[in-house]
DNA sequence: TATTGTTATACTCTATAACTATA
DNA sequence: TATAGTTATAGAGTATAACAATA
């Protein structure tokens, strides 16, 4: 995407600007691990709820089933995720992280902490608490689900 | 894009989440005016500095020249922007908003104000000042140029 | 020879639709 | 007949490269 609009100087613009910056920097960091941001998200979702089906991921992501196929394929090829046919209902898969997948996710967590630290560098402890509190208040008022990044969809 | 990673609960995640939300809501609003966010950005840049060349836009946006061609084409077709051959150097165009382009930009400004108001609904006056101050501090420390949205590039 | 802009082409991301296997 | 997942195909968005006009 190119320059978005939004009123410069206002809170809406600052949020969009900083949000894009944060997303870009995080993507750069995970690229060093060979992962796109969407792949990191998928690894996290599978780790949180091992055995979940592709269909359930599609629903949570608000994405079509074929998209999940395309998302899981490279993760399986690179040996981070395993597809196991469900024995109860052999139509669907149970998705699991491999040992290597869990290792990589550990490194993602380190990267995320470094990312957080970098982004907050300019603020002291008190200001960070203040900022987090205000951001959480806005997110809640806007009806955003904690921990769920909406992505950028029209 | 689908779910990005980032540590849930942290400031980096909240910024990415709220930034995506702000960008999505703004895009919805400008879509009612028939404009994509990138087109709004272009209109703003041309209004700020009438007569500027496509090349200069490409540089400021960090985008190749052919992309600007594709961006300006529909705005010219819909009669919001005018390409005038420069008389000094007939290789380049001077871009201007038409009267209708300026009208539409006026409506964009109304939309931006409504957007700002909606996003800040959950905060009182003091909290808004506080939040804006903190966000500006982070933006400055991160080396972001005021008023320039980086977009989402790898 | 260098620069502004356009056109042709290709690559990525994503959705829709048709399909297979299972229920 | 309905559901989980895959494959084939098409459309958007963006970049690269070759090109035309002008300097």
Taking CB atoms and an 8 Å limit, are B3 and A30 in contact across chains? Answer: no
Instruction: Assess if residue A151 is contained within a domain.
Output: no
Distances in whole angstroms, Cα of residue B4 to Cα of each of A25, A29, A51? 12, 13, 21
Provide the β-strand partners of residue B95.
B83
Contact yes or no for A11/B132 (Cβ under 8 A): yes
Q: Give the pLDDT confidence of A38-68 residue by residue, as tens digits.
A: 999 999 999 999 999 999 999 999 999 999 9
Are B17 and A13 a contacting pair at CB < 8 A?
A: no
Q: Are A10 and B109 in contact (CB under 8 A)?
A: no
A153 within domain boundaries: no
Is any Cβ of chain B less than 8 angstroms from the Cβ of A33?
A: no
Residue B37 near residue B61 (C-beta atoms within 8 A): no
Write the DSSP symbol of residue A34. Answer: T
The answer to whether A1 and B128 are in contact (CB under 8 A) is: no
- Tens digit of each residue's pLDDT (9 = 90 or more) over A6-40: 556 799 999 999 999 999 999 999 999 999 999 99
What is the rounded CA–CA span in Å between residue B78 and residue A114?
47
pLDDT at B2: 44
The CATH number covering residue A115 comes to: 1.10.10.10
Nearest-angstrom CA–CA distance, A113 and A102: 17
| Residues forming beta bridges with residue A97, ordered by sequence position | A81
As a rounded value in angstroms, the CA-to-C1' distance for A99 and C12 is 30
How far apart CA B142 and CA A22 sit, in angstroms, is 10
Residue window 58-87, chain A: list those with CB within 8 Å of chain B: 60-61, 63, 67, 71
> What gap in Å lies between CA A147 and CA B5, rounded to an integer?
9
Are residues A11 and B119, on separate chains, in Cβ contact within 8 Å? yes
**B1 is a domain residue:** no
| Predicted local distance difference test score (pLDDT) of residue A145 | 81
Q: Which helix (H) or strand (E) holds B85?
A: strand B81-85
Mean pLDDT, residues A73-79 taken together: 97
d(CA A2, CA B71) in angstroms, rounded, equals 10
In a domain, A147, yes or no: no
Computed over every residue of chain A, the mean pLDDT equals 92
User: Which pLDDT score is estimated for B63?
Assistant: 93
Maximum alpha-carbon separation in chain B: 56
> What is the pLDDT averaged over residues A89-112?
97
Q: Residue A89 sits in which domain range?
A: 11-141
| Burial class for B76, CB neighbours closer than 10 Å (0-12, 13-18, 19+) | middle
pLDDT in tens, B101-147: 999 999 999 999 999 999 999 999 999 999 999 999 999 999 988 87
Q: Which range in A100-104, A141-145, B36-40 is most confidently predicted, on average pLDDT?
A: A100-104
Residues facing residue A96 across a β-bridge: A82
Confidence of residue A2 (pLDDT cuts 50, 70, 90): very low
With a 7 Å cutoff on the CB, does B153 touch strand C?
A: no
Task: State whether B2 and A71 contact (CB < 8 Å).
Answer: yes
Domain assignment of residue A3, yes or no: no
- Distance CA(B47)–CA(B35), nearest Å, equals 16
Is the pLDDT assigned to residue B92 strictly greater than 90?
yes
- Is residue A4 in some structural domain? no
- Using the Cβ of B48 and the Cβ atoms of chain A, whether some distance falls under 8 Å is answered with no
- Does residue B27 contact residue A154 with C-beta atoms inside 8 Å? yes
Predicted confidence (pLDDT) at residue B53 exceeds the cutoff of 50: yes
Identify nearest nucleotide to residue B67 by CA to C1′ distance: D14
* Residue linked to tokens 């101050």: B133
Residue B72 in contact with residue A2, Cβ under 8 Å? no
Give the number of domains in chain A: 1
On chain A, the residues whose CB falls within 8 A of the CB of B123 are: 134, 137-138, 141
Query: Residue for token digits 């949180």?
Result: A48
**CA dist A79 → A98, A99, B2, B131 (Å):** 7, 9, 21, 43
DSSP annotation of A32: T
Q: Which pLDDT value is given to residue A6?
A: 55
Confirm whether B3 is domain-assigned: no
pLDDT classification of B9: cutoffs 50, 70, 90: confident
Q: Which residue of A has its CA nearest to B43?
A: A5
Whether residue A18 lies inside any domain: the answer is yes
**pLDDT tops 80 at residue B152:** no
Q: Is the CB of B85 less than 7 A from some atom of nucleic acid strand C? A: no
């Amino acid at each position: 995407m190119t320059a978005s609009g939004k009123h410069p100087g206002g809170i809406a613009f600052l949020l969009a600007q900083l949000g894009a910056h944060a997303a870009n920097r995080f993507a750069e960091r995970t690229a060093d691990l060979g992962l796109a941001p969407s792949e990191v998200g998928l690894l996290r979702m599978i780790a949180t709820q091992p055995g979940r089906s592709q269909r359930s991921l599609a629903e949570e992501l608000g994405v079509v089933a074929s998209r999940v196929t395309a998302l899981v394929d490279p993760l399986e090829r690179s040996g981070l995720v395993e597809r196991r046919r469900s024995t109860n209902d052999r139509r669907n898969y149970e998705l699991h992280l491999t040992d290597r997948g869990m290792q990589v996710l550990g490194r993602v967590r380190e990267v995320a902490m470094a990312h957080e630290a970098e982004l907050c560098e300019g603020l002291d402890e008190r200001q960070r608490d203040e900022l987090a509190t205000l951001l959480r208040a806005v997110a809640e008022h806007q009806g955003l689900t904690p921990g769920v990044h909406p992505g950028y969809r029209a």
